[in-house]
Amino acid sequence: MQDIEVIEDPQVAVAALEPTRSRLLAALAAPASATELAGRTGLTRQRANYHLKALEQHGLVQPAGERRHGGLTERLLVASAAAYLVSPAALGDAAGDPARTADRGSARYLIALAARTVRELTRLLRRADTTGTPVVTFSLDSELRLAASPQARAAFADDLTAAVAAVIRRHHLPADAPGDDYRLIVTTHPRENVND
């Protein structure tokens, strides 16, 4: 089972997003039969089977063995991943694109950057799965508290820009030098207050 699967196919996304099917996917972190899932989700066994077949046809669940139950043999299924993410690529040309967002300081621009990141990393991961070459990444996730004023935010942005620019100057190679190309995105956004 993968830790996360990115869904790019619109038909697979539709199957995964259907509310009953998404509940079944969440319930299939460990192998289970249609009968077990029916009991856990309040569905009839026939309805559970119907939805499980659709999920299996789209590769979202997979066989996980069999188990004898009474005089019957039950098929066990398990989710193909612990978690799923629908890629903006599932929307085709309608997906978010930073090139179509004018205000680079807006939350919408940041979302478009995140969408591009998901699309690019998904393509790289698919290629890596084929070639066996790992995708080398680096992520830094931090939280900080700033004074609640435009001046404080601007001072932070200026300092961060200067620091990142200095690191880039020290490590960036000329275009004709041997090396690998990387994309660097530095973002800040207000942290969602979970207590609200």
What pLDDT, on a 0 to 100 scale, did the predictor assign at position 68? 85
Give the C-alpha separation, 98 to 129, whole Å.
27
Residue 181 has pLDDT above 70, yes or no: yes
Give the C-alpha separation, 11 to 14, whole Å.
5
- Sign (positive or negative) of CA dihedral 165, 171, 173, 178: negative
119 to each of 40, 51, 125, how far by Cα in Å? 35, 28, 10
Higher pLDDT, 7 or 67: 7
What pLDDT, on a 0 to 100 scale, did the predictor assign at position 195? 63
Q: Where are the alpha helices (DSSP H) in the chain?
A: 10-17, 19-27, 34-41, 45-57, 107-131, 150-171
Domain spans, the chain: 5-84, 87-171
How do residues 90-101 score in pLDDT, each as one tens digit? 998 888 889 898
Residue 72 has pLDDT above 90, yes or no: no
pTM assigned to the model: 0.79
Give the C-alpha separation, 90 to 81, whole Å.
18
CATH of domain 5-84: 1.10.10.10
b/e map 113-122, b = 16+ CB within 10 Å? bebbebbebb
Which pLDDT band, with edges at 50, 70 and 90, does 196 fall under? Answer: low
> Which tokens sit at 177?
């030098």
Give the C-alpha separation, 87 to 91, whole Å.
8
